[in-house]
Amino acid sequence: MWKLTWIELEKIAAKPRSYIGFIAITVIVSIIQLAMYADGDSYMDFITQSMEQSFELQGKMLNGNLVCFIVLQMLIVQIPLLVALVGGDLVSGEAAMGTVRLLAAKPISRTQIILSKFFAGCIYTFALLAWLAVLALFVSRLVFGDGDLLVVKSDSITILQAHDLSWRFACAIGIAFLALVTVAALSLMLSVFSDNSIGPIMSTMAVIILFTIIGTMDVPFFDNIKPFLFTTHMIIWHNFFDQPMDTHQIMQSTLVLLVHCVLFVSVAVFAFNKKDILS
């Protein structure tokens, strides 16, 4: 399986579209960092102005940890598109190119083909997030320095001490990885049903947008299904910056995301095994 996964990684690495994600992350993070570097104090004044009458904030609030937190908030929503760009192409790209015929005529099971593609997709996703972490956390800390993190919510503020942050960022990126792997699994599953890449990529984004809209609508009718939508749990990384942390909610979200992953990959394996390769 590792050999097959490595072959899939070689193919991903050779495709120009695989680098769009890395370039996009680099550009977006750099822009945010530049903006913070140039006018971060104004931004800080803006987010703290509502609490200045109640609190006196001292110290350097604009630091690498805050910039990283801002980057994560902005990018976690966009990265699924970058993951779908590669995940949606994994099987349908082979069909469009015609190589799926050769691939499926080789002495490897179709289940192995799908699983190796899924694992390769996971590794690609991990690489994207690792790159994001390097840029958003380590570069930001280099440029802006270390410090306590001010987390402002609509109904509360939390200040987390600098020495208490590294593991929180690691866990947040870990659960964000699981959320993005779910997106990769969804796009892989849709990719099995299509002979071109555009369909699965667009469909993945459409599903995410639809589920996100349902998740944010304050309609009682949707309340019963919201806990079962994977998009509801994609923002659970945020919980690692709560004090106290809701571990039960984190465990529940992890479970829901895992179940979705298994479901999507199982459907992909079943459908690909049943499929007549006609392309």
Q: By CB under 8 A, tell whether 10 contacts another protein.
A: yes
7 versus 44: smaller Cβ distance to another protein: 7
Question: Residue 185's closest CA among 111, 267, 265, 253?
Answer: 265
3-state SS class at 111: helix
Nearer to another protein (CB atom), residue 155 or residue 276: 276
**235 contacts another protein (rule: CB under 8 A):** no
Looking at the Cβ atoms of 98 and 145, the one nearer to another protein is 98
Candidates 5-13, 31-39, 153-161, 222-230; binding stretch for another protein (CB under 8 A): 5-13
Question: Is 15 one of the binding residues for another protein (CB under 8 A)?
Answer: yes
Query: What residues have CB less than 8 Å from 263, skipping those under 6 apart?
Result: none
Q: Sketch the per residue contact string, 94 through 113, with another protein: x for CB under 8 A, - otherwise.
A: ---xxx-xxxxxxxxx----
Task: Give alpha helix (H) positions in the chain.
Answer: 2-14, 20-48, 64-75, 79-87, 92-97, 99-104, 110-133, 140-144, 166-192, 198-216, 220-223, 247-274
- With vertex at residue 185, the alpha carbon angle to CA 180 and CA 189, rounded to the nearest 5 degrees, is 145
Q: Check residue 266 for interaction with another protein (CB under 8 A).
A: no
158 binding another protein? (CB under 8 A): no
Neighbours of 246 (CB within 10 A): 13
Q: What is the binding site for another protein (CB under 8 A)?
A: 3-4, 7, 10-11, 14-16, 97-99, 101-109, 276-278
